[in-house]
Amino acid sequence: GDGRAATDEERAPTMSSETESLRKKVATLTVINGALQKENDDLRAAREDAGGASSSRGGNDASADASAVVAQVEAECEARLREADETIDELRRELTEIAKGGDAAQSANRDKTVKLREAKNEIAALRRRVSELEGNERRLNSQLRDAEADAARAAKAAENNSRTADGIREELGASQADANREIQSLRRRLNEREQTAEKTIATLRETLENERSDATAKEAKRARSQVASAETRAAIAEAEAAKLSRELALANETAQSREESLRRELRAAEDTARTLEATLSEQRHAGGFAREVAGAVATVTRELERERTRRRQAEDEHADRVRERDATIERLGADVVRLGDELRDAKSAVSRAEAARDERREAADDASRLRSEAESARTAAEARAAEAVAVVTARAQKAERECEVCREKCAVLSAELVALEETLARAELEAIRARRDADEFRKEAERIRALRATPSAAPESAPAVQSAPPRHPAIAPRGAANPEPSNETPPNAPPPPSVGGFDVAALVEAGKANFANDFDVETANWLTSKEKRLIAAERRTQASLRSKLAEAEAKAAALTTRVEELETRVEDAEAAGSNSGGDGGEGRFQKRLKELRDALREERDAAESLSARHETLLEVLGEKEEEADGLARAVAALRGAGGESHAAFRSALERQLEDTEVAGSSPGKIAGRVFVSKDVDEPLDD
């Protein structure tokens, strides 16, 4: 029981891993299907723009082959799925029978039944997924057919465009001479304009150089003068500031020295006053000279007051000078700042002048470069014009050669027709002459027979036995439509015709007229059957040649009309070009040729793109086929695993029966020996 459980536990992860693998494959197929659908939509969009008949035929063949391969793979998958279902049903029946053997076998059978049910559910899911893929494939096939139909329509449109291009080429070939004259005129005008432009450019360049040099010199001179003036003003301001600084220092020194002298004088006066006070006190004690001392003290006091006043005045003057010096210093500082700003402005002006000079130099270089580019473009345009002229000339020559060949063919056909008419006339004349000779010979024979029968009758009075047959208008005399035969000659009758009794001019005139209506070969009983066949064959040949000549004349008339129409259109185009400026004819032809080439190039690119997309689609279909093969291999592996399980069950059942017959053991022991088989324990192959 433990071994069987272990075996079941080992097999369950194996089945789950296989299921996951199948699910991943189904998811991959889903992604590929979506990519196919998107690619098909892109293919339809591309083929709506343009398509190629070859690509469409290749796509039809490849799609048919891919559909056949996919249908074959799906049929094999369906067959294998049916076989797997049958195997599962058989295994289920065997499990039901084995379940009767015991509890262990019953539990194992239940486990197997559950696993088989899960496997069947997985197979059913895969079947549904395959059905969905089939539906997607049918939808993609329908979309592919729609895309092929669109490609066919695009191919027809391309053919129409090609025919239109051929017509335009013929028109260009017809208008080659006018185009040459127009191109020569355009070249002359272009040369004249180039010469005028070169002269104008040279004049403008010289003027620009002169203006640039003058402006540069003026700007440099003005900047230098401004810089020199600013430097001069700055030097003056610095000198004044230095002078004021020296004066301030001198004034400070003078004020200090004067202050020291005043202080010394004040100290001396104070010492003198103290001395005088001491002397006064002594004299006061002594009793003399009081008034003199008082006067001296008053004098000294007045001198001190005057000295103090002068000192205050000197200090005020010094303060005023200091204030004036400070104001002057501030003014000079403002002047220095202003001069510095002016110096910076002058430097910036110099920089701007240099930048303007560089810009003018760059503009001159750009003008030179543009002129060189214009010359190269003119050279390229002349080369393209020469190529176009060569192509148009070649096509015109080819058209002229074709016209000459057509004219030669018309001339040959006309000559052949004239020769055949002459041959027919000669043949008819010979036939009529032979018939006339035969009639005369028959008349002569009848007359001879009549003379033999009646020898007494006069030859002149012998009546005619048989009236002559009606004659052709060409044989009859002029002015008689169908005269009766008569042996008498009218007095005013014209002279008889030439030998043979016919008039060549009358015969030719009758042949030129409606000869077939006047002369019916079938009713002409004087002609033999061979002569009638000869004349009928000649008339058929003549009618065929006349129809061919009429067709050739109609073609020549149509060609002439076409040439006249093209000439009219060219004249209208020339008139329109002259009204619009006269220099657009060649450009319009070149533009039309370029448009045609671009259209053909786009059609070729679209065809190549469709071919590449078709190859991609084939690769994706191949990948899908590989995935289908992998799915088929997985189903085959699952079927093989089911077959191995079936074989293991059968071998286990046989061993159980043998053990029952030999040892008579219990069902539990038999079940214990059933599920340890090597075949059952082996994992399923991927």
221 with 88, same domain: the answer is: no
Residue 33 lies in a domain: yes
The C-alpha angle with vertex 634 and arms to 628 and 639, in degrees rounded to 5, equals: 125
pLDDT at residue 56 greater than cutoff 60: no
Least confident of 66-75, 296-305, 494-503, 525-534: 494-503
pLDDT at residue 414 greater than cutoff 60: yes
Residue 525 lies in a domain: no
Range of the domain at 16: 2-174+588-681
200 with 336, same domain: the answer is: yes
Q: How far apart are CA 611 and CA 605, in angstroms?
A: 10
| Residue 685: alpha-carbon gap to chain centroid | 54
367 with 222, same domain: the answer is: yes
Question: Rounded to whole angstroms, what are the CA distances from 675 to 14, 220, 550, 667, 671?
Answer: 17, 112, 101, 13, 7
116 with 41, same domain: the answer is: yes
- Amino acid letter, 155: A
Residue 574 lies in a domain: no
Give burial (CB, 10 Å; 0-12/13-18/19+) of 631. Answer: buried
- Amino acid letter, 93: R
Per-residue pLDDT of 100-121, as tens digits, reads 555 555 666 677 778 778 877 8
* Domain boundary residue, one of 342, 375, 392: 392
Residue 543 lies in a domain: no
Mean pLDDT of 81-86: 72
Query: How many separate domains does the chain show?
Result: 2
What does the pLDDT read at residue 202? 80
263 with 358, same domain: the answer is: yes
Per-residue pLDDT of 367-386, as tens digits, reads 777 778 777 877 777 777 77
Per-residue pLDDT of 163-209, as tens digits, reads 776 777 677 666 666 767 777 777 787 778 778 878 877 887 788 77
Residue 537 lies in a domain: no
pLDDT at residue 463 greater than cutoff 50: no
The percent of residues above 90 in pLDDT, for the chain, comes to 0
Q: With b meaning 16 or more CB within 10 Å and e meaning fewer, what string describes 458-494?
A: eeeeeeeeeebebbbbbbbbeeeeeeeeeeeeeeeee
- Give me the phi and psi of 526, to 5 degrees please: -85, 0
Question: Greater confidence, 10 or 45?
Answer: 45
142 with 216, same domain: the answer is: no
The percent of residues above 70 in pLDDT, for the chain, comes to 48
Residue 421 lies in a domain: no
225 with 322, same domain: the answer is: yes
* Domain boundary residue, one of 328, 360, 392: 392
599 with 677, same domain: the answer is: yes
Per-residue pLDDT of 204-248, as tens digits, reads 778 877 877 787 787 778 777 877 877 787 788 778 777 877 877
384 with 244, same domain: the answer is: yes
Q: How far apart are CA 678 and CA 66, in angstroms?
A: 43
- Mean pLDDT rounded to a whole number for the chain: 66
278 with 326, same domain: the answer is: yes
Per-residue pLDDT of 244-285, as tens digits, reads 778 778 877 887 887 788 778 778 877 877 777 777 677 666
**CATH label of the domain that carries residue 347:** 1.10.287
pTM reported for the whole predicted model: 0.23
* Domain boundary residue, one of 357, 372, 392: 392
Least confident of 284-298, 488-502, 628-642: 488-502
Q: With b meaning 16 or more CB within 10 Å and e meaning fewer, what string describes 605-619?
A: ebbebbeebbeebbe
28 with 112, same domain: the answer is: yes
Give burial (CB, 10 Å; 0-12/13-18/19+) of 636. Answer: middle
> Which H helix or E strand runs over 90?
helix 53-98
Residue 449 lies in a domain: no
Question: Rounded to whole angstroms, what are the CA distances from 582 to 197, 379, 594, 617?
Answer: 19, 20, 20, 53
Question: Greater confidence, 144 or 662?
Answer: 144
Residue 50 lies in a domain: yes
3-state helix, strand, coil in the chain (%, to 5): 85, 0, 15
Please, are residues 343 and 230 in contact by the beta-carbon 8 Å criterion? yes
pLDDT at residue 440 greater than cutoff 70: yes
What does the pLDDT read at residue 585? 47
What does the pLDDT read at residue 482? 41
88 with 7, same domain: the answer is: yes
Please, are residues 642 and 30 in contact by the beta-carbon 8 Å criterion? no
pLDDT at residue 461 greater than cutoff 60: no
